[in-house]
Amino acid sequence: MNPDAEEVCDSLDNDCDGLIDTEDPDGPSTVTYHLDADRDGYGATSGATVSDCEAPTGYTEDDSDCDDSDADINPAETEVFYDGVDADCAGDDDFDADGDGYASWEEVGGPDCLDSDASVWTCGSTKAAAGLTCAGDPQRQPVERRWTVLGRP
């Protein structure tokens, strides 16, 4: 410790100016920590924050928790589709397991009659009106998606 020393986070007055760590304007840079109310290791952007050298108890650097009141909801969780809960905080549709942009017919009455395969086309009311069987009918025949790229043969 001497007046020419750099202040670091160690609870000592390294540069002999009477100020310790983050009290010193010339002190070390701090990290913003987010309150982790449900103690799952993830804080939320909307919760309380603290800027300090080390995380206080109950705080974390990670702010990606989408529901900080439930420890079973955080980015590390495995998504269980069709339960109405975004357990993994991915922000995706809980009723679209294959990620094709269409909700499951069986689960919520959406237009997707095969929600386990993104390559299978949807069967909504317009398809049923066109004579396709789909909506909950065991004889339904999903239609494969066919994409045409304009300007290509």
Mean pLDDT check: name the lowest of 4-13, 45-54, 57-66.
4-13
Q: Provide the pLDDT confidence category of residue 141 given band limits of 50, 70 and 90.
A: very low
Contacts of 152 (CB under 8 A, 6+ apart): none
- Whether 133 has a pLDDT exceeding 70, the answer reads no
Mean pLDDT check: name the lowest of 2-16, 82-96, 130-144.
130-144
* pLDDT tens digits for range 108-122: 777 777 777 777 655
Q: Are 75 and 89 in contact (CB under 8 A)?
A: yes
- Whether 130 has a pLDDT exceeding 60, the answer reads no
How far apart are alpha carbons 71 and 58 in whole angstroms? 13
Of the candidates 86, 81, 83, 55, the one whose C-alpha atom is nearest the C-alpha of residue 70 is 86
Q: Determine the pLDDT at residue 123.
A: 58
* Strands, E assignment, the chain: 31-35, 49-52, 59-60
**Average pLDDT of the chain to the nearest whole number:** 78
Take residue 93 and report the two structure tokens written for it.
């549709």
How far apart are alpha carbons 97 and 52 in whole angstroms? 41
- Helices (DSSP H) in 1-153: which residue ranges? 105-108, 125-129
Q: Assign residue 46 a region: left if phi > 0, alpha if psi is -120 to 50, beta otherwise? A: alpha
Note the pTM of the prediction, 2 decimals. 0.62
- Whether 68 has a pLDDT exceeding 60, the answer reads yes
Q: Are 26 and 51 in contact (CB under 8 A)?
A: no
Mean pLDDT check: name the lowest of 21-35, 88-102, 126-140.
126-140
